[in-house]
Amino acid sequence: MIFVWAFVVGGLMCVLAQLVMDWFRMTPGQVLVVFVVAGAVLGGLGIYGKLVDFAGAGASVPLPGFGYTMVEGIGQAVKQKGALGLFTGGLTAASGGIKAAVIFGLVAALIFKPKS
Count other Cβ atoms within 10 Å, centred on residue 46.
8
Q: What is the pLDDT of residue 111?
A: 93
pTM greater than 0.95 (yes/no): no
Instruction: Quote the distance between the C-alpha of residue 17 and its chain's center.
Output: 13
Q: How far apart are CA 73 and CA 67, in angstroms?
A: 10
Q: Would you call 76 exposed, middle or buried from its count of C-beta atoms within 10 A (0-12, 13-18, 19+)? A: middle
User: Digits of tens for pLDDT over the chain (116 positions)?
Assistant: 889 999 999 999 999 999 999 999 999 999 999 999 999 999 999 999 999 999 999 998 888 999 999 999 999 999 999 988 888 888 888 888 888 888 998 999 899 987 76
Q: How far apart are CA 90 and CA 100, in angstroms?
A: 16
Nearest to 86 by CA among 75, 98, 96, 95: 75
Q: What is the pLDDT of residue 64?
A: 93
| Runs of H (alpha helix) within the chain | 2-24, 28-44, 48-55, 57-60, 63-81, 85-111
Q: How far apart are CA 111 and CA 41, in angstroms?
A: 38
